[in-house]
Amino acid sequence: MIAARADWLLALPVLIPLLACALSAALRGRPLVQRAVTATAAAAMLVSGAALVAEVLGRGVIASQMGDWPAPFGITMVADLFAAAMVAITALIYAATAAYAPADAGMRAQEALWHPLLAALVLGVAGAFLAGDLFNLYVWFEVMLIASFGLLVLGGGREQLDAAVKYAVLNLMATTVFLIAVGLVYGLTGTLNLADMARRMPQVPNQGAAAAVAFLLLAAFGAKAAVFPLFFWLPASYHTAIAPVAAIFAGLLTKVGVYAMIRLVTLVFPAGQDWMAPLLWAVAAGTMVVGVLGAAAHWDIRRILSFHIISQIGYMIVGLAVATPFAIAGAVLYIIHHIMVKANLFLVAGAIRRAGGSFSLAALGGLWRRDPWLGILFAIAALSLAGLPPLSGFWAKFMVVKSGFDAGWYALAAVALGTGILTLYSMLKIWIEAFWKEPPEGAAVVALAGRERWLLLGPVAALALVTLGIGLWAEPFAAYALAAGEQLAGREAYIAAVLGARP
Amino acid sequence: MPDSLILRASASYVLWAGLALSVFVLLRGHNEPGGGFIGGLIGALGFVFHALARGPAETRRVLRLDPLAWGGSGLLLATASGLPALLLHAEPLLTHQWIDGLPIGTAIPFDIGVYLVVLGFALAFVLPFLGEESA
pLDDT in tens, B21-55: 988 888 886 666 668 888 999 999 999 988 888 88
Nearest to A248 by CA among A373, A386, A123, A139: A123
Whether A311 shows a pLDDT value over 50: the answer reads: yes
- pLDDT on residue B2: 59
- pLDDT on residue A502: 53
Q: Do the domain assignments include residue A184?
A: no
Whether A418 shows a pLDDT value over 60: the answer reads: yes
- pLDDT on residue B55: 83
B97 DSSP β-pair partners: B104
Number of domains in chain A: 1
CA distance readout (Å), A497 to A15, A83, A420, A491, A500: 22, 14, 39, 10, 6
Please give the helix or strand (H or E) that residue A499 lies within, else none. Answer: helix A492-499
Nearest to A179 by CA among A130, A115, A136: A136
Whether A230 shows a pLDDT value over 90: the answer reads: no
Residues of the domain holding A313:
274-494
Q: Indicate the SS3 state at residue A357.
A: coil
**Alpha-carbon gap, residue B33 to B31, rounded angstroms:** 7
Residues 6+ apart with CB under 8 A from A298: A304, A307
Reported as a pLDDT band with limits 50, 70 and 90, residue A257 is very high
Q: Identify the sign of the CA torsion A427, A431, A434, A440.
A: negative
Buried-state track A456-487, b at ≥16 Cβ within 10 A, e below 16: bbebbbbbbebbeebbeebeebbebbbbbbeb
Nearest to A117 by CA among A42, A25, A248: A25
- Which chain B residues touch A27 with a CB distance below 8 Å? 69, 72
Whether A490 shows a pLDDT value over 60: the answer reads: yes
Relative orientation angle of helices A81-100 and A5-26, to the nearest 10 degrees:
30
Please give the helix or strand (H or E) that residue A283 lies within, else none. Answer: helix A276-296
Q: Quote the radius of gyration of chain B (alpha carbons, Å).
A: 18
**Alpha-carbon gap, residue A201 to A196, rounded angstroms:** 9
- pLDDT on residue A389: 80
Interface test with B, best of A27, A65, A68, A73 (most B CBs within 10 A): A68
Instruction: Count other Cβ atoms within 10 Å, centred on residue A70.
Output: 11
* Tally of CA atoms within 13 A in the half-sphere of A38 that contains its CB: 33
Q: Indicate the SS3 state at residue A489.
A: helix
Reported as a pLDDT band with limits 50, 70 and 90, residue A138 is very high
CB of A68 less than 8 A from some CB of B = yes
Residue type for A296, please? A
Q: What mean pLDDT is predicted for residues A414-435?
A: 88
Residues 6+ apart with CB under 8 A from B129: none
Angle at A422 between CA A387 and CA A437, to 5 degrees: 95
Whether A193 shows a pLDDT value over 80: the answer reads: yes
Label residue B88 left, alpha or beta by phi (over 0 means left) and psi (-120 to 50 means alpha). beta
Q: Identify the sign of the CA torsion A211, A214, A220, A222.
A: negative
Q: Which positions in chain B have a beta carbon within 8 angstroms of at least one beta carbon in chain A?
A: 66, 68-69, 71-76, 79, 82, 85-94, 120
Whether A360 shows a pLDDT value over 70: the answer reads: yes
- pLDDT on residue A443: 63
3-state SS track over chain B: CCCCHHHHHHHHHHHHHHHHHHHHHHHHCCCCCCCHHHHHHHHHHHHHHHHHHHCHHHHHHHHCCCHHHHHHHHHHHHHHHHHHHHHECCCCCCCCEEECCEEECCHHHHHHHHHHHHHHHHHHHHHHHHCCCCC
Whether A375 shows a pLDDT value over 80: the answer reads: yes
Determine, for residues A2 and B87 on separate chains, whether the beta-carbon distance falls below 8 Å: yes
The answer to whether B105 touches B94, Cβ cutoff 8 Å, is no
Q: Rounding to the nearest 10 degrees, give the CA dihedral for residues A426, A373, A250, A45.
A: 160
Determine, for residues B94 and A8 on separate chains, whether the beta-carbon distance falls below 8 Å: no
Whether A51 shows a pLDDT value over 90: the answer reads: yes
- pLDDT on residue A503: 44
Instruction: Count other Cβ atoms within 10 Å, centred on residue A154.
Output: 22
How many angstroms separate the first and last alpha carbons of chain B?
11
In tens, the pLDDT along A393-403 reads 888 889 999 99
**Alpha-carbon gap, residue A76 to A63, rounded angstroms:** 7
DSSP state of A70: P
- pLDDT on residue A1: 40
**Alpha-carbon gap, residue A346 to A440, rounded angstroms:** 23
Determine, for residues B79 and A27 on separate chains, whether the beta-carbon distance falls below 8 Å: no
| Residue of chain A minimizing CA distance to B73 | A26
Determine, for residues B86 and A11 on separate chains, whether the beta-carbon distance falls below 8 Å: yes
Residues 6+ apart with CB under 8 A from A501: none
Interface test with A, best of B65, B66, B86, B97 (most A CBs within 10 A): B86
Reported as a pLDDT band with limits 50, 70 and 90, residue B68 is confident
Q: What mean pLDDT is predicted for residues B65-88?
A: 84
The answer to whether A41 touches A17, Cβ cutoff 8 Å, is yes
Candidate ranges A112-121, A271-280, A452-461, B80-89; pick with highest mean pLDDT: A112-121
B16 DSSP β-pair partners: none
Q: Do the domain assignments include residue A296?
A: yes
Residues 6+ apart with CB under 8 A from A449: none
- pLDDT on residue B89: 59
Q: What mean pLDDT is predicted for residues B10-21?
A: 88
Higher-scoring residue by pLDDT: A466, A158: A466
**B109 alpha carbon, distance to own chain's centre:** 12
Peptide bond just before A72 cis, omega within 30 deg:
yes
Whether A357 shows a pLDDT value over 90: the answer reads: no
Whether A50 shows a pLDDT value over 70: the answer reads: yes
Give me the residue from B69, B87, B91 closest to A28, CB to CB.
B69
Q: What mean pLDDT is predicted for residues A291-316?
A: 89
Angle at A75 between CA A69 and CA A78, to 5 degrees: 115
- pLDDT on residue B96: 56
Give me the residue from B68, B76, B90 closest to A28, CB to CB.
B68
Reduced DSSP (H G I as helix, E B as strand, rest coil) percent helix, strand, coil of chain A, to 5:
80, 5, 15
- pLDDT on residue A129: 94
Which of these ranges, A179-183, B83-87, B112-116, has the smallest mean pLDDT? B83-87
- Which chain A residues touch B72 with a CB distance below 8 Å? 21-28, 116
The answer to whether A178 touches A185, Cβ cutoff 8 Å, is no
Q: What mean pLDDT is predicted for residues A81-86?
A: 93
**Alpha-carbon gap, residue A154 to A109, rounded angstroms:** 9
- pLDDT on residue A216: 93
- Which chain B residues touch A2 with a CB distance below 8 Å? 87-89
**Alpha-carbon gap, residue A334 to A338, rounded angstroms:** 6
Query: How large a percentage of chain A has pLDDT more than 70?
Result: 95
**Alpha-carbon gap, residue B48 to B58, rounded angstroms:** 11
Query: How large a percentage of chain A has pLDDT more than 90?
Result: 28
Whether B135 shows a pLDDT value over 50: the answer reads: no
| Residue of chain A minimizing CA distance to B91 | A68
Q: What mean pLDDT is predicted for residues A120-132?
A: 93
Whether A338 shows a pLDDT value over 60: the answer reads: yes
- pLDDT on residue B98: 61
Peptide bond just before A389 cis, omega within 30 deg:
no
How many angstroms separate the first and last alpha carbons of chain A?
29
- pLDDT on residue A245: 87
- Which chain B residues touch A3 with a CB distance below 8 Å? 86-89
**Alpha-carbon gap, residue A80 to A3, rounded angstroms:** 20
Q: Do the domain assignments include residue A321?
A: yes
Burial class (CB in 10 A: 0-12, 13-18, 19+), A224: buried
- pLDDT on residue B100: 65
Which of these ranges, A215-224, A273-282, A341-350, B66-75, has the smallest mean pLDDT? A273-282
